[in-house]
Chains A and B, each alone.
Chain A
Amino acid sequence: MEILSLLADGMLLSLQPLNILLILVGVTLGLFIGAMPGLGSVNGVAILLPITFLVPPSGAIIFLAAIYYGAMYGGAISSITLGIPGASTAVATTFDGKPLARQGRASLALVTAALASFAGGTVANILFTAFAPVLATLALSFGPPEIFALMLLAFATFVGLGGDDIPKTVFSICFGLVLGAIGFDQISGAPRLVLFDINGFLQGIGFLVLAIGVYGIGEMLWTIEMTRGEVTTSTPKLSMKGMASDAKEATRRGWKGTTIGSFLGFFVGILPAAGATPGSLMSYGVAKMVSRNPENFGRGNPDGVAAPEAANNSASTGSMLPMLTLGIPGSPTTAILLGGMVIWGLVPGPRLFTDETEFVWGLIGSFYISNVAALLINLSFIPLFIWMLRMPFTILAPMIFVLSIAGGYAATRDMFDIWLMVIFGIGAFFLRKFDYPLAPAVLAIVLGPIAEPTLRQSLLLSSGDPMIFFTRPIAGPITVIALILIFLPALKLLRRAPARQGAAE
């Protein structure tokens, strides 16, 4: 009961006129920043951080949290309408969001993403409110072996997502992981894999360079070549009645993915260093696995949009939990929020809930209000995003290329990265022609820098004994499930080969 009264106080605080205004402005700004390829919540929060010194700390964090929410909703927009994931958390949304848009059902995809994000955010808020201290302790029991096991599980999901050509999927995963290792060795600090001794590689290769190269350039070239420049999307229609029927269809066909994403995303999100990317990917994989028609995934299944979108929103709220309760940021954006809190004179950690009750519950209350605001603002802007798709492809295509190059530069501020992006784009075009799945590489470049140090720390803990991943109570089951997921498709393939030979004889 005490929690409910504190939450009510927090909601009242966030419903004050100034705070409501901050939420509306923050969500709208976040939505557009998140929808821009190359820019995400981290840019929005970082750029607008100085503005928050003009308002009290509770208003400031509410504003930043609203930007964070808006950007998480916005990430789906570029994934669906342009086919370019603006952030790693929205890569899985492209798998079914882009095919739906190509079929002229962008409105269904956008409505599904908005509703799933809302559901994910709501579930996460409730879990956050009710179980914050308990979950923070649980998250702390995840050491390096457990985090590595979780990463292994994420890689295992890739194998399931990559279709029948397992060697190409494995190649793609390892390629992404190796690209993620370029730059400096995180432990010794020695330069590593400085390709052709070009100094530009010393700074490593960022996720966006590969993602924009693959999706913004490579996929676009492939689409132009395959369709002979005549991209035939049925003209997306939009009316209030149509949106209402899309909402009904989204609820009917996306509830399973939404449920999976909401819970799985939250639990992955609260783990320090894991975050929303593995959460959204795992949710997509699990939704596909439990579906009666897994073959529909990747061809425009609303469940395939709902699962990652519910998960990334849920995980974003979840990642606030270790930040507030333990002072450990779960993502780059929460790291900036943490920095802001320190500047405002607040000390994140276990005592924050007792020492700064008004601030903490004001923030939690604003999560609920921001979530509702983000849903309404997002739905009201869907006609604008759909209008974009009505452009002739010979105008849309150069706009996508321009957005990719300008957005890529905005994120990295380095022309070397832009040239790499172009090289990756042309390389991705050829690999796509020969059926290499590229999403695993894009996601692996994000997860590699988390997986490698945890593997090395784990092996150091066990003096080089890999059994550490099997003998610990949490890591053990996760590792076993991951290995089953990796080897099951391989076994299926081996069993199918002799059967095919037998049939041929």
Chain B
Amino acid sequence: MRNGEIITAGVLALLSIYFMWKSAELPIGYIEGKGPGGGAWPFWLSAVMLVSCGMIALNWWRRTSPPSQSEEPALDEYGWRMLLLVGGGIVVFVALVNVISMYGAIMAFLLYYIRYLGRHSWALTFAIAIPVPILFFFFFEGAMRITMPSGMPFTDPVFNILYEIIY
């Protein structure tokens, strides 16, 4: 945790500097008759972020914050595995939205999570993974009139049937 705390503070300090640099593309001082320049607000806030990172580093050096006192790893083997399986699953889910549609991606993600990660029976997995996207379709497209991504053209025949029902 101790190493992670200072690395995180360093990354956030770099982010603050980047924000300051981007903000400075607009005036950051006071312009007579016009008030503070367009970049002033984010620039000075980013400067405060940078100072805060300095103070976090100082607290790390003085070992006053709980993470700076801990020698345990920030993420153990389980943590990395969980991040890969669950976080990675979410990334794949979002990537699939434009391929097999939002509803198709929801179905695939539920199948993956409930069956593979949750180790539930196939019966329960199907009982949830199939009706949920259908219910979502009727709620969003039918009731709320919100059109979700329908993926690549090969999904059209399915959507044509569903749109026939609601329109």
Contacts and interface: CB of A to CB of B under 8 A. Distances in A.
Interface of A: 39, 43, 47, 165, 167-168, 170-171, 174-175, 177-178, 181-182, 185, 187-188, 190, 192-195, 217, 221, 224-225, 228-229, 392, 394-395, 397-399, 401-402, 405-406, 409-410, 413, 415, 418-419, 422, 425-426, 429-431, 433-435, 452, 455-457, 459-460, 464, 497
Contacts of B136: 402, 406
A430 B8 CA distance: 8
Nearest to A36: B139
Interface residues of B, number: 66
B31 to A, nearest CB: 9
A350 B38 CA distance: 36
24 contacts: A39-B144, A47-B145, A165-B65, A167-B55, A168-B56, A171-B49, A174-B49, A181-B42, A193-B42, A394-B120, A395-B120, A397-B86, A398-B109, A398-B118, A401-B109, A402-B109, A405-B94, A405-B102, A409-B97, A409-B102, A415-B94, A425-B90, A433-B4, A460-B34
A430 B9 CA distance: 11
B138 interface: no
A217 B88 CA distance: 12
Contact of A433 (B30, B48, B74): B74
- The main secondary structure of chain A at its interface with chain B is helix
B131 interface: no
A433 B79 CA distance: 11
Interface of B: 1, 4-5, 8, 12, 18-19, 22-23, 25-26, 30, 34-36, 38-39, 41-42, 45-46, 48-49, 52-53, 55-56, 59, 64-67, 74-75, 78-79, 82-83, 86-87, 90-91, 93-94, 97-98, 102, 106, 109-110, 113-114, 117-120, 124, 128, 132, 136, 140, 144-146, 148-149
Nearest 3 Cβ contacts at the A-B interface: A394-B118, A185-B38, A398-B113
B20 to A, nearest CB: 10
B134 to A, nearest CB: 13
A224 B45 contact: no
A392 B128 CA distance: 13
Given A193-B23, A398-B113, A178 B45 contact: yes
A175 B83 CA distance: 24
B125 to A, nearest CB: 9
Nearest to B40: A456
Given A174-B48, A192-B38, A406-B106, A435 B65 contact: yes
